[in-house]
Structure formats: structure tokens, C-alpha cells
Amino acid sequence: MLYVNYGSTPAAHWLLYGIKPVVIAIIANAVYGLLGSAVKNRLLGVVGVAAFALYLLGINELVLLFGLGLLVMLLINIRRLRSGGAVSMLIPLFPFAAQTITMPTIPVSLELLFLSFLKIGGLLYGGGYVLLAFLRTDFVEWLGWLSNQQLLYAVAVGQFTPGPLFTTATFIGYILAGFPGAMLATLGIFLPSFIFVSLTHPFIPRMRESKWFSALLDGVNVAALGLMAGVTVDLAREALIDPLTVALALISGVLVIRYKVNTTWLILGGAAVGLAYALLTQQPLR
């Protein structure tokens, strides 16, 4: 509500000017933190780099996630194919058989808003920050409902407020369609998790023991990491626009990676730097 009412004011512009590079540092820290667990060997490292490069070339994120996951599964288990173990690899794939369709720019509607977040909630895999790739593809590139800057603001709100990063959906829903949009976006993105947990719980122990499924998850995990790195680069182009924002991102990166400073304090600090810069350069705040 504050963003909708005051986000276009000069004061808010300078606050957000300082917040955006901090958000880039926070996302970069998430990518860095996942490197050790996702890149387990040289093959996975190559797949992660490929996912990063192909995302920047415009390849759909679902194709990258599950296509590269399938590729890793086949490469790691190629000997099992020759020994007749191919049938078992098909079992874990059926939940991921989905396609995304490019849609024309159309007016905001509650129905499409809910269905878009329901799709993202149902298909998203790889951690909260992979959400950014899906949001950017759907709401910035396809539907044209958001700008890259608004997406950065949404991430900042998701970091600043209690709860998971998925609360970003609530912010986006509100700025697009007010309170009903906030409620439907939140319901849409969280609802599939409850359904999937209920449906898959009996099968989880067997899935964990499957070498095919384990290899698939390794591939999808590292592809998700590549997506996170790619969307970080895309958003950095919007946030790092001058020496001050670059320096703010670098300092924030050091603070969050080396000294584990809480992200809330970093965001507040970035906002303070932006406001101080406006005052020092005598920029209008009203």
C-alpha cells in the first residue's frame, strides 16, 4: 500500500535507488551459498554454466530446468540404460510434464493473475530465488505487467518482511490488482505446495533411494543455480547504473557473505545511503 501510494515520489525514488543494488548483492550471496551443495562434480559444473548461458540467450526456464536435469540423469546412468533399467527412470518424470505458452500482452485480470501464480507455484523448483526467473519471464517479458525495477522492489519487500521470499507474490498481486490481487496471488503460489506434499509423501522414501531420481535432482538443482545467476545478471543491469550503486552492491556483498549481516539491516542501510546521497547532491525529495 505504501509503495502504490508513495512509490512514485522523489523520496521513494532515492530510497529505492539505494535498495536495488543491495538486493542484487543478496541474490548473488544466495547463488554463492548454493555452489558447494549443487556443483558436486565437473559435469554438474558444466551444466550449471550451460544453464546460465542459455538463460541469457532467452531459453525458457522450464526447458532448462528439466531438460538439463534429464540430460544429467541420462549421462550419469547411461550404463543402467544398457542393462535394462530404463523403465524406472520414467516414473519420476511425470510430475514435470508441463509446457509454458507465450502469451500476448493483455490487461490485468484477477483470473489470469491467480492462474499465473498457480502455475509458478506448481512448477517452481530449486529454491526461492529461482522464483525470480519465473516472475521475470511471466510478468515482465510475456504479460508486460511489471518492469524489472518493480520486480526488484518486490524482491526487496520479500526480503524485508517476515516469512519466505514467496511473499513477493503478495506484493506483486497488490500493485497489480489491489487487495483481491494480493490474496489471489498468495493463494495461487502457496496452494500447490500443500497439494504436492500430500500426494507425494508416501512415495518420498522410494524416490530418495532411486539413483535415476537422485541424478535428475542433481541436474535440476544445478540448472536452477544457473537460472539464479542469469536472472541476477539481468536485474543487475537495472540496479547498477553508476559508481555509487556498484560500490553499494560490492560492500553489501562483502557484508552479507563475509560477515553474515542480516539482510533487513542491509536493505535499511541501502535506503539510508540512497536518501543521504539525494540530500548531499541537493536532489528534490517532494
Give the C-alpha separation, 21 to 124, whole Å: 25
> What does the mean pLDDT of the chain come to?
84
- Cα distances (angstroms) measured from residue 185 to each of 86, 172, 174, 175, 253: 39, 8, 8, 11, 31
Percent of the chain clearing pLDDT 70 (strictly above): 88
Structure confidence at residue 126 as a pLDDT band (50, 70, 90): low
Q: What is the pLDDT of residue 132?
A: 85
User: Model's pTM, two decimal places?
Assistant: 0.78
pLDDT of 83 higher than 80: no
Give the C-alpha separation, 55 to 149, whole Å: 19
pLDDT digits 0-9 by tens, 191-238:
998 888 888 878 777 776 788 888 888 898 899 999 999 989 988 998
Domain residue ranges in the chain? 11-280
